[in-house]
Structure 1
C-alpha cells in the first residue's frame, strides 16, 4: 500500500464516523434514538436494509465463492423477494399499528412476557456472535495479507463503529449506511472494469463469460431436489425464503431499519426496493469473482491464496514437497493458458469439434489443478493444523493488493471496512435496543424518564460493542465466513420465525405452549445441525415447522387435560 492508499482509506472511514456523529447528535428521547423519530424515507430504508445484510464478509467471501464454485451461490437469495412480499403484507402493518419499538414487544402483547424474553435472548445470542464475526472477518484477512496486528484491527474497527452508533442510535446507522453503500458499489464497479481491462486484448466480456462457462463457473441454477445440497433452486426458494422471512421479519437489526420509516408505505417501499435489488447485487458480486477466475486463467495465481498458510508450510519440514507442488502448479498454469488460447481461437472460428476438445482439455486441467490445491491444503495442515487452509476468503483481497493500481487499493479496502462497519453498526444498535427495552425496561421495577432509557440504550450498545470486539479477538476462521454467518442464523431463525407466525395466524395457541415448544425446538435444531441431518438452509424451514407442530400438540394436550368435557 502506498501513501495515496492510506490517505483514501483513512479519510473515507473518518468521514463516515464524523458524518454519522454530526448528522445525529442530540437524541432527545427513546423514539428519536431507537426509531430515528420515524422520519426515514423509503430509499434510505432500502439502502440501510441492504447495507445491514451486506457485511464485509459479502465482499470478501462471495467473489472467492464464485472463484472456486461458480455462480450457484446466488440461488441462496431466490426466496428473498417472496419473503419481502409476505413481510410487507403481514409484518409491517402489524408492527406499525402496534407502534412497537422492537419486534419482540409484539410477542408479549400476543403471548406473555416469558415468550418475549425467550425470543429476545435467542436473538441476543445469535446476533451477538454474528456481530463479533462481522468485525473478525475483515480483520483476520487484512491481518494476514497486510501484516497488521489482528487484535489491533479488531479494536480499531469496533471502536469506530461504537463511536457513531452509541452517539446517534438508529438515525446514525441509517444515514451512514447510505454513504457506505455508495462507496461499496462504486468500488466494486471500478474493480470489475479494471479486471476486464486486465484480460488479454482479444478477450472481451462475452468471450470471458464463455471461458468461465467452459470451467462450469456459470451453472447458476441446480434443479436437483437434494436436502443435503447447500445451493439448489429448491433450497433457495424454501430454506432461503424462510431464512429471509426470519431475518427481515423478526431480526431486530433489520426490523429496526424499517420501523424507523415515516409510514407503512415508506417501510414497504424500502423492503420492496431491497427485494428487487438484492439478487442483482449478489449476482454482480459473484460475477466479479468469476471474472477474477478468468483473469487467473491468463495470469499466475498462488497455490494457496492465504499467505500465512504458504509461509507456515514453507517454514516446515514439508517445504520441499510444497515447492515441488508449486512448480507443478506453475507448469499446469502454462498448459492452462495454452488451452484457453486454443478454446478462444476455436470460438472465433466457430469450430464446434475444436471448441469441445479445448473445453475438455480445460476441464481436465482444472481437475488436476484442484487436486494439487487439495494436496497443498493437506501439506499445510500437516505443517501447522492451526492455520486456515481454505483460501476462499483470500482470493479477492489477493487480487486487489497484487493487481490494482495505487489509490484504488485504498478505495477497495475502504469498501471492505465500510461494509464491516455498516453491518456491525446495525447489529450493535439492535442488540442495545433489545437489551434496554425488552429485558431491562420490561423487567425493572420503577418509573424512569425518557432520558434514562436513552442512556441505558447507549450503555448497552457500548457493552455489546465491547463484547463483539472480544468475540472477534477470540474467534477462529470457518469453512467460509459468509456461510458461517448464515449457519448461525439458520440455527436460531427458524424457531423464532415459527413463534412469530403462530402469533400472527394461530390464535388458539397460548404463551405456555409456545414457550415450551420453542425451548424443545431449539435443542432439537442444535442437535440436528451437529449431527448433520440436513443442509443448514433447510434448518430454517425445519425449525419453523417443528415449533409450530410442537406448540399445537402441547396446546391440544393441555386443553384436553384441563377440560373434562374434552376428556370425556
Structure 2
C-alpha cells in the first residue's frame, strides 16, 4: 500500500482538530456531574438519534460489512432487519422505565431490584467488556490505517486516542453526541462516494452489477428453513434481535443518551430515528461489497495479489515463500474479503477524496470509542465511586472523578489495543470470556424489568445456570473428539439467544417452585 498524499493527510488532521475544538466549545457548560453525564436534558431527539446511529455504524461496519458481502452474501443484513422489533420493545418498556427512575446509570435499579450482587455483577461485566471493545476498535482502526497511511499502529492509536480523550473529557456527553452527529453524516457521505466510484469503474454500471452478482446468489439473505446449525435467516434474525435489545435496553452507551433528551417522547424518537437511518445505510455497505465483487472479478490479477497478501499474513512468511503461494491458491473470497475495501480505497479513490474517506473511517471508530469512554466513566463514578468510596460526594467532586475516569478509560483502552498487536489468540480468548459474562446481563435485566415476582434468589439461580450454559456453549470446541456428543451443536450466534432464555426461564421457574413473592431491595 502507498502512503497518503499530503493533501489527504491535511484533511485528516483538519478533521481531528475540528473534533477537539468541539470538545473545547462544550467544556464551558460542564459545571456539574449532571451536566457532564446528561447535558442538562436539553439535546433534541433528532441529534440523539443520529448519535446512536453513529455508534451503531462502527468502523467494523464500515470496513467489515463490505468484506463479508464480498466473500459471501447478504445474510448478515438480516441483523439490521431485527432492529424494528427490538426498538419497539425498548421504546415501550425500557426507555419509559429509565426516564421514570431518573438514574443516569443503567445498573442502579438492579441493586434495588435484586441486591448489591446484581449491580456489581452488571457493572463489572460492562466495564470489562467496554475496555475490550475500545481496545479492539483501536486495534482494528490502526491495522486498517497502517495499510492506508504507512504509519505505525502504535502511532495511529496514540494520535487518535489523544484526540478522542481530549474532546470527550472536555465536552462530556454533549460533545460526544454533537461530534457523533457530524461523524454519522460523514460516514454516510463516505459510503455514497465509495458506491459512486465503484459503480463508475464497472462497465454497464448498476444494472451490470446486479446482474452479475445475482447469478452467484450474492443477494441471498440465507436459507429460510428452520436451520439453527448454520447461519440461516432465522439464526441471524434471532441473534440480531437479542443483540439489539441488549443495546437499546441495557447498554449504558445508549441508556445514558435517553436521559439527555428533552422528554421521554424525544428519547423514543431518537431510537426510531436510529433504526430508520441505520437499516438502509447498512444496506449500502452490503451493496458496496457486491459492487466490489463484480469489480474485482473483472481484475483477476488484483485478486491474486490480495490472496498472496492474505496468505502471507496468515502464515507470517514472505509473499514469495512457496508455502504462501500454495496457500494463496486455496483461499476463497471469504478468506481475503477484508482486503478488498482498503485496496480499492488506496488504489482507486482520487487524492482529496481519500482523505475524506479515511476521516469517515476514523469517525466510525471515534464515535464508538468516545461513547464507550463516557459511558464507562459514568458507570465508574455512579456505581463504584459514589456507591462504595464517597457516598456524599459533591457535584463538583464527582465531576473531577468523571474527568479522571474518562482519561483512565481512554488510556487503558489504548493500552489494550497496543497489547493486541500480534496476539490474535489472546484476543479471541478474551472476547470469548467477555461474551460469557456479558451474555448473562440481558437475561438479568429482563427478569428485573419484565417480572415483579422474581426473587433475589431466583435471579441469582438464573444467572448462575445461564452463565454455566453460556460457558459450555462458548468453550465446547475444547471438548475432545471422542466426546463429541457433549459439544454444543448449534450455530455460535445462538449462544446469546439460548443463554438469555435460560436465565429468564430458570429465574421464573425457581420463583414458581419456591412460591416466594418478589422482594424489592432498597439501596443501602
Q: With structure 2 as the length reference, what TM-score do the two structures score?
A: 0.88
* Pairing partner for 2:14 from 7, 11, 14: 11
Once the two structures are superposed, the pairs formed by residues 385-400 of structure 1 within 5 Å of their partners are 390-400=335-345
Query: Can you list the C-alpha shifts for 1:51-102, whole angstroms capped at 9, x where unaligned?
Result: 1121111111111111111222101222111000000010011111111111
* Pairing partner for 1:498 from 443, 455, 461: 443
Once the two structures are superposed, the pairs formed by residues 131-280 of structure 1 within 5 Å of their partners are 131-200=134-203, 203-230=204-231, 232-280=232-280
* Pairing partner for 1:71 from 74, 99, 105: 74
* Pairing partner for 1:432 from 361, 377, 388: 377
- Report the more deviating stretch, 300-309 or 173-182: 300-309
* Pairing partner for 1:547 from 489, 496, 503: 503
Q: How many residues align?
A: 499
CA contact (8 A) 2:385 2:391 kept: no
| Structure 1 residue 11, shift from structure 2 partner | 0.8
CA contact (8 A) 1:169 1:429 kept: yes
Query: Can you list the C-alpha shifts for 1:475-528, whole angstroms capped at 9, x where unaligned?
Result: 258999xx9999788645542121111112221112233134324422331331
Match of 2:482 in 1: none
CA contact (8 A) 1:305 1:395 kept: yes
SS at match of 1:280: helix
Structure 1 residues 488 and 96, CA gap change in structure 2 (3 angstroms): farther
Q: Distance in 2 between matches of 1:229 and 1:250?
A: 28
Match of 1:364 in 2: none
Match of 1:80 in 2: 83
* Pairing partner for 1:92 from 69, 91, 95: 95
Structure 1 residues 487 and 293, CA gap change in structure 2 (3 angstroms): farther
Query: Can you list the C-alpha shifts for 1:285-328, whole angstroms capped at 9, x where unaligned?
Result: 110111111111223423353886566679659624656888xx
Asked which structure has the greater CA Rg, the reply is 1
1:319 aligns with 2:321: yes
Q: Distance in 2 between matches of 1:273 and 1:522?
A: 34
Match of 1:347 in 2: none
| CA root-mean-square deviation | 2.8
Match of 1:536 in 2: 492
Structure 1 residues 249 and 282, CA gap change in structure 2 (3 angstroms): same
Q: Distance in 1 between matches of 2:47 and 2:253?
A: 15
| Structure 1 residue 27, shift from structure 2 partner | 0.6
- Report the more deviating stretch, 399-408 or 26-35: 26-35
Q: 5+ unaligned residues in a row in structure 2: which ranges?
A: 478-487, 517-524
Structure 1 residues 322 and 512, CA gap change in structure 2 (3 angstroms): closer
CA contact (8 A) 1:83 1:244 kept: yes
| Structure 1 residue 220, shift from structure 2 partner | 2.6
Match of 1:125 in 2: 128
Q: Distance in 2 between matches of 1:102 and 1:536?
A: 30
Q: Distance in 2 between matches of 1:302 and 1:323?
A: 13
Q: With structure 1 as the length reference, what TM-score do the two structures score?
A: 0.82
- Report the more deviating stretch, 412-421 or 314-323: 314-323
Q: Distance in 2 between matches of 1:448 and 1:325?
A: 61
Q: 5+ unaligned residues in a row in structure 1: which ranges?
A: 327-370, 378-388, 561-568
Structure 1 residues 493 and 246, CA gap change in structure 2 (3 angstroms): farther
Q: Distance in 2 between matches of 1:241 and 1:489?
A: 20
* Pairing partner for 1:407 from 334, 352, 373: 352
1:441 aligns with 2:441: no
Q: Distance in 2 between matches of 1:46 and 1:114?
A: 33
CA contact (8 A) 1:95 1:103 kept: yes
Structure 1 residues 478 and 128, CA gap change in structure 2 (3 angstroms): same
CA contact (8 A) 2:86 2:245 kept: yes
